[in-house]
Amino acid sequence: MIDLKHLRNVKLNYIRHLIFTWFESIRGMLVMIGLIIHGIFPFVLTNMFSSYIKNAEIRIKEIGT
């Protein structure tokens, strides 16, 4: 779905939104690598994903204020 009011709804301009999403994408890719490692070695990086989700939620709330 196309939401032409998304930037207004999240209270961000285009550049700030772009930078935020790119940094979150990079973080997500690093977490993905960590999850692959965790899948092979379940005893390492045991809370990486839950920590990422929790912190991502905080970052999303902070950026949109």
CA distance 36 to 9: 35
Residue 42 has, within 13 A of its CA and on its CB side, a CA count of 0
Alpha helices in 6-65 (DSSP H): 6-10, 14-40, 48-63
What was the pLDDT predicted at 65?
A: 54
Taking the CB of residue 47, how many other CB atoms lie within 10 A of it?
9
Q: Which residue has the tokens 């692959």?
A: 36
What pLDDT, in 10s, does the model give residues 40-65? 999 999 999 999 999 999 999 888 75
- How many angstroms separate the CA atoms of 31 and 20, rounded? 16
pLDDT digits (tens, 9 = 90+) for 10-35: 889 999 999 999 999 999 999 999 99
